[in-house]
Amino acid sequence: MLVVNEVASALVSTDPVDQVSRVLSRLLEHAKATGGAVVVPGHESPRVLVARNVALQNLEGLPTLWQRHEKSLRAGRSTGRDGQRVLPLLDGSDLIGAVYVEGEETNPEKVKAFQPILSRAVLAATDPEALRAFGADLLGVGVERSKREITLASLRQHEWNISRVARELGLTRRTIYLRLTRWGVARERVPKAARRPVEAS
């Protein structure tokens, strides 16, 4: 079970590349992926910034994969097949990197929940100006922001069903309600007709 405090504290590091590595590790664990990597633009060709449990031949193919799908990634679309997915990391409309995940059981929705956090970490690791701007985040101020992003992503995924979100995050319903109040977020109501069918687990 994912516990938000544990995830948020695991995301904070004073070394920007280490922070990317930590976020990637949590993403892989949360999305049930067997391996993954973060690819960023290089001077001549894309380069792998960090990787976890990815075969060398797959790592060597990532720059080519980036170049082949760059247009889709720039448009904000993920791509992939056969248990491999590449998702864009964007700063506004700028493509700052891509996250590669592999594994037959990988849950793409859970990968998407980590995209904003991973994008910020990659930006801080690759852009000295952004590193200064995110300095407070790297020293721990970003823990609350990370909790907020993870909680809101989970709420969207579970169509604002507080009980399901509380179970997934290892929190009480009361804690979820208190956080929403503290963050000034109004609870959204999803009409029954618009709800997706519940997946069997």
Contact 103, 35 (CB under 8 A): yes
Asked if residue 174 is part of any domain, the answer here is yes
Share of the chain above pLDDT 90, in %: 3
The confidence score (pLDDT) of residue 12 equals 52
The confidence score (pLDDT) of residue 198 equals 59
Residues pairing with 100 in the sheet:
37, 86
Query: For 78, phi and psi rounded to 5 degrees?
Result: -85, 165
The confidence score (pLDDT) of residue 1 equals 41
pLDDT digit string, tens, across residues 89-130: 888 778 888 888 888 777 777 777 777 878 888 877 777 655
How many domains does the chain divide into? Answer: 1
Asked if residue 192 is part of any domain, the answer here is no
Range of the domain at 20: 4-187
Q: pTM of the entire structure?
A: 0.59
Asked if residue 151 is part of any domain, the answer here is yes
CATH number (domain holding residue 183): 3.30.450.40
Asked if residue 201 is part of any domain, the answer here is no
Tell me the average pLDDT across 82-92. 82
Query: For 79, phi and psi rounded to 5 degrees?
Result: -145, 160
DSSP alpha helix (H) spans, 44-161: 56-74, 108-126, 128-133, 135-136, 142-157
